[in-house]
Every structure is written in C-alpha cells, then in structure tokens.
Chains A and B, each alone.
Chain A
Amino acid sequence: MYARENKIAGWSLAVAMIALFIGGSMGPLQKLNYAGVNLYDTLNDIGLASYYQGLTLHAVLNALVWTTFFIVGFFTFALVRSLNMPLKMPWLNVAALIVMVIGLIMAAIPILLNLATVLFTFYPPLQANTFFYLGLTLVVIGSWMHGYGYYLTYWEWRKQNKGTRTPFIALAIIITMVMWQIATLGVAIEIIFLIIPWSLGWVEGTDPTLARTFFWFFGHPLVYFWLLPAYVSWYAMLPKQAGGKLFSEGLARLVFWLFLALSVPVGLHHQYLDPGVPAGWKAVHAMITFALFFPSMVTAFTVVASLEVGGRARGGTGLLGWIRALPWGDPSVTAQLLAMILFVFGGIGGLTNASYNLNLVIHNTSWVPGHFHLTVGSAVTLTFMGIAYWLVPAISGKNLWSRKVALWQGWTWFVGMILMSNGLHILGLNFSMPRRTMIGAAPYADPAWNPLLFEAMIGGLILGVSGLLFYANMLGTVLSRKKAETPVEMPVAESMDATPAPAWLDSWKPWMALTIVLILIAYGPILVDLISSAQFTSPGFTPW
C-alpha cells in the first residue's frame, strides 16, 4: 500500500542522509581546527580550499538539505497514512522531488568548486556564483510543489469527509507546509529581486540591510520548519511508542496554529545589531518572539504528560519513577527523549538570544553555534534519527540492522553534543570568542580558551563517531537481504480524550487572518521604510 508515496519518501530520505554524511563530515574538521589541528591544508589536494568552504558545506548541507529533504520524505509518508488516502496527484510530488534534486545539484557544484563560499546565510555583500542562488531557489520551489501536492490531497479528503475533524498528524503537516510557504516568500524575494540580478552583474550593487531583512523573514520560521516535524513525532507518534496516549489533542492543535501565526513576524530579533533597522521595530519583534514561549511551554507540558501516561501504563510509579519505566531500550524512543533533554537547554539559550541586552553580549560569538547545535543539531536532527529508526525499516520492509548500535548512536550524540555545546556556549558568553572564524589560525586566540576548545573538539569527534554509527545502521538496514517478517507501521498515538477537538481548532480562516495581520503589523511598515530608503550600492565580495 502507498507504494508511490513510499518511493518518494525513500528517495527523499536517501538524499537527506547523503547530504548529512557529506555536511556532517566537515564538523570534526572544524573542531580539530579549534584545537590547533589544521587538516585543511592536507585537504586542499582533494579540492577543499578553506575552512570557510568546509563551513559552507557543513551548514548548507546539514541545515538546509538534510532537514528539508527529510521533512518532505517524512511528511509524504505520514500524510497519506494520517488521511488514509493516497496523494491526489502523486506526479506533482514526484516532480517536486526532481526539482529539489536538480536545485541541490545546481547549488552544490558551485560550493564544491569554491565558487559559493558564502556560509549558510549567504549574506550580501558576500557573493556566490549565480547557480548557487538558482539552485537554492529550485529547492524552495520543489518544497512548495510538495506542499501543493499535500494541499490537493487534503482538500480531496475534506470533500469526502465533511464535518469530520482533520486527523491531527495531517493537520500539523499542512499547517507546517503553509507556514513554510509564507516564510519562504522572504527568501524568494531576496534571491530573485536583490541577489540574482546583482550576482549576474545586471545591477552594480545591492542593499545588505534589506537583503538581510528578507532573509530573516524566512530565517527564523525556518527554525520552526525544522522543529514542527519533530513536534509531529513528539506529540502524535512518540506517546504510542512509549505505551501512552496524547495527553491533550486540543492543546497540540492549538500549538501548531500558534506557531503558524507567530513564527514569521519575529525575524528582526536576528538583526538586533543591524544599524539600519529602527530599535522600535526590533522591540515589536522581541515581544512577539517572547510570545512563542507560550506554545513552547505548552509543548513541553503536553509531550511530557503524554510520556508520563505511557510510563505509568508501563508500571512506573512515584512522582518521577515513570521516567525509568519508559522504553529506553527502543532506540527510536531513546533518541527522541535525549533530543528533548538537549532541547531544554536549547530553548533556554533561545530566550537568552531573544533578550536584547544579552544578545548584545553573545551576538556573533561561538554561543550561537553552541545554541543551534542544541536545536537543529539535536532537537531536530536527533529526533529525525529516532524517526529514521522506524521509518527506514517501514519504507524498506527490512528490520533495523542493529538496535544496540542505534542505542549507542543516540547516547554518543547526546554526550558529544553536551561537551561541544557547553564549550561553545561558555567560549561565547565568557570570552566573546567569535563564531564563523578559523580560530586555529587566529592570532588573537587566547590561551585561556584552550580547555574549552579541547572540550568542544572532544564533543565534535564523539559526534562524528555517532554519525558514523547512524550511517552504518541505515546502510545495514537498507542493504540487508532479509525482509522483515512483520511490517513496521507508523506509530499513531490515540488521544486521551475521545471527544473531537473544538471546531475552531480545525478552521483555517481565523488563524490565517491572525497570521497575515501579525505579519503586516510586524513587517509592513519596516519593509516599506527599508525599500523606500534602499541604497543599492554594495558591490559583491568573495574573500575566500
């Protein structure tokens, strides 16, 4: 059943994991460099020109390609099962995947040729080869096409099921894709109108502040595009795997609607230090950013309560004894539980980033990569790995190659990330060590940094080993000749409350209206101001 959808999901996951393998392999090199071991000169022979080219590969492949391809694969698999109907126009999703792969190749070649060493944010005035931007645009367009395929399927389901509440997983997927659709308008405008004409030489200069503003219109909701698929698993799948039920489906739905409304109008908190943006608008975005604290805390409560239900159903007693009763021997569950623990600290770091005065201290320091390795590098990536431990067997029809190796993988990721992230956080906060810098070659590097740099390096190397365990398990599973005797099904948690969720939590109009109004308030005046005063004077630079 769902053979076509499984193929789309399978190929998407394959591309995602190849990207993670290549991008991830750059990580230990960076951390070795932190500790004074420079392998980049040696790697010149195979075409790696610099630390910064490696950093671009690491960030683009991990943060953009691994995540986006995994998400569309996971969503394609989960949507049809949640709605219990196949894709309405599967060719559209096949075409979407092809467009994304073409875009990926177009973007990857300039990066590999050192023609697009512009890091993950590709901030102007750093300038890349035009094909890099065209490739990224195609990846985004392909993801939109995936979304259109999902919307058409959803509308068909709605026609056939009038008056029925949308199943939670399907609703969460559609909300995530709509949020992504809105958010990517920012980066599409930036690339099409500001960057491509400039990189082609059609215009002499561009306006970095305006470009950065459009980038962060997309850049922060991108974080939620990564996180919400993990939340789909935490809310709707993990409780089932843990033997429990979803504690409150109503709260789960409310959280997704709130993320739709609040994810986009917050981007200026990434631009607190941009001189061209008035402080008042930064304050507006800061307030909306802190509003995101509410759905985040609701998520923490609901997901943990769902797990508590599972732990108690498995015989756990006492106030916290249920935690030990959770199925820690299941690598899919363990990876996701460990991801959640790391996310606790990632979330707290996020609150620090969003606080204006503290942001002045940690901005552009190693605190920032310390933070986002706890979010996208742990809450998201380790959760996706946990999902892969049932999803890849489900798609391939094979058993997971080794549960023991998978468990080791989850724990080594956890330990490695604690070490690396702790080192980076303290180096940033206490010593203002800059991020995105080849520290091993920095003449101003302070000997006082060394213990923490060493800690970060050990963490990075453990993460590298953990990555190898993951790839070994995925390859071992897919290449195994033995078919699974019992097919693996998608875990779907029942709701504790059998009463259908209120109608207002299944209605698009009020939430879309709130989303649009908030975006217009938060971005309308400032964009009009920035566009009307734009100065397209900055030439491009290619320093590396």
Chain B
Amino acid sequence: MFFDEMLHFFGQMASQTGLAQFWWGNVLMIAVGVSMILLAVIKKYEPLLLVGIGFSCIISNVPGSDLTLPGGLFHYAYEGVQLLILPPLIFFGVGAMTDFGPMIANPKLVILGAAAHLGIFVALIGAKLLGFTIYEAGAIGIIGGADGPMAIFMTMKLAPHLLPQISVAAYSYMALMPLIQPPVMRLLTTKRERQIRMKQMRTVSRVERIAFPIVIGIVVNLLLPPVAPLITMLMLGNLFKEVLVTERLAKAAANEVMNVVIVILTIAIGSTMGADKFLTGSTIEIIGLGLVAFVFGTGSGVIGAKIMNLFLEEKINPLLGSAGIASVPIAARVAHVVALQDDPENFLIYHAMGPNLAGVFGTALSGGIMLALLQ
C-alpha cells in the first residue's frame, strides 16, 4: 500500500519533468549543439555564432524547458527574427565596420558581385526539382549568396519553417569557404591567370565616402523596397562611420549593438533547432543544395571575371571573381591566399574587397527581385 502510493507519487513527479518526453532525437541534437561549441572552441570556426547557436540548440532539446515556448525568453529572441528586426540590425553593425573604399575606387569590379551569384539560381532550381515549394526553393537558393542576415531575412519572408536548416547551412558553409572555394578557383584558372597583378587603386575622398551611403540608400529604397530595411541599415551604419562626427555611434554600432544582436540572433537560431523540426530528410537536402550553391557561385564569379578580361585592356586577376560571394571578408581573404600561393608578392586583399562588398549588394538585389516576383 505504502509502496504503491510512493510509486504513484514518483510517477507523477517524473511526468512533470522533461524525462517522459525525452527521445533519441533530442540526444542527437544535443550532440549537434555540443559539436558546434567544440568546432568553435577547437577549430575557431565562427565562434561568435556557433557558441550561442550550439548552447541554445542544446537547451531547446531538453524537454520540459519552457524557454522556447511563447512566454519563454528564447521565444522572444525568436520574435526578433520573426519580426525582421535583428537581420537589419546586424547590417547596421556591419555598415559601421566596413570600408567601402575598395568598391568605390574600382566600379567596374562591382559586376562580379552579381556574377558570383549563379549558385543562388542553381540551388533554387535544384530545390524545386527535389520537390520543395517555390517559396522554400527561393529561401534555399539564397544560401548561395553566403550572406547570413540576408539568408535569414529571405527565409523569414518566404519559408520561416526552414530557418534552422538554412541558417545553419549558410553559416557553416561560410566558415568552410577556405576549404570549398580554392579547388574550384584552381580548376577554372591557369597559373598565369592567378599571377596577374592588379594596379594600385586611387584614394577615395571623404566627400565620396559620405555621399555613397546616402545615394545608395535613396536608390535601393526607390527601386527595391523588399530589401530596403537591410541595405538602409547597412548604409546608416556606414554613414555614422564615414561622417567622422559620430564616432561614438559608429563604435557603438560596430561593437555594443552588434554584440548584443549577435547574442540574441544566435539564441533565436538555436532555439528553432528542436529535434522534431530539424531531423527531417529535407535538412540533408538543404545542406547538400547549400554546398552546390557555394561551388557554382565561386565558379560563376571566376568565369565572370574571365569574360570581363575578354573586353578589358588591363586584365584583372580572375580570382577576384570568387570574392563576389558576399561573405565579407572571408571570400576576399580566400582569393588573396590562393593568389599568394602562386606569387608570394601578389597582394590581392584590397582589390578583392571591392567585389566582395559588391557581393553584399548582389545578394540583396537577387533577394529583392525574387521577393518582388514571388509576392
């Protein structure tokens, strides 16, 4: 009698904990979260992102925790993504950190920012062929832009239920770009092409630097309202940096604001990685399509630069094309490192930053046009 009551009592207690709902999927996702943290700590892969995402993923897979449910703290972090507040704030911080000088100094290279985005469309068509809806395919395609906040923004507009898979794929491949891009770059170029040296760029004046964010802000809001929140905030952050009289605000945007937003954003992404949503066949397909997008994007950028060389008197190094992928400054750094391997005195980094920054605009333009055509 006494033991029956005790058994009933403990049974009731157990049913109120998360133990009753614990399944192997949670264990697997906790392992994924731990792996993310280990990759960040040991391999230094995107530590600012992976530590927060990994921890939030672990907590989200502990049944019984109300953090991710409406009213829970992680849920409010997710609201920041759902309401499309956090991605523009990330762009705000990025704008305050970015020197657009290399892009302004060499306008002809901006075309590479669009050329390197063929991967977006290859992934889009691939996703459609695999049976995703056109909205899901559009969101998956944007992984190829290699722009985390843009991928999140597009996903929340087109297919919010795919946020965990797409954000994880986008940020993982961005971290892996030094491994993914070089073989494609070498395959499509000759040693002589990789050794082409670029001419010293002109100095960009303060007037130009201040005019740039204002003019681009007007043009983007006029022509591409769907992505205006992102580019507007990018330009506001950059204006704070370039006017020199708002140094405090520029520093706050680049440091305090950016850091707070990263914390909330990573919590939000990790909180969507519940086993029931993440462990599906479509996750593997999305991860695969993301890789395809990065490979094709790199290739199309290099080929785009080679096509430009057919018309240019002063040839450009085709490795700059691969930097047209938006991931700043990883893609530019990869182009620089690959060029150094064939000519230790060929410093491409500053030149590669031009197409790399243009890639941010290229992804935003592709995304904006896609939203306009789909909605």
Are A and B bound to each other? no
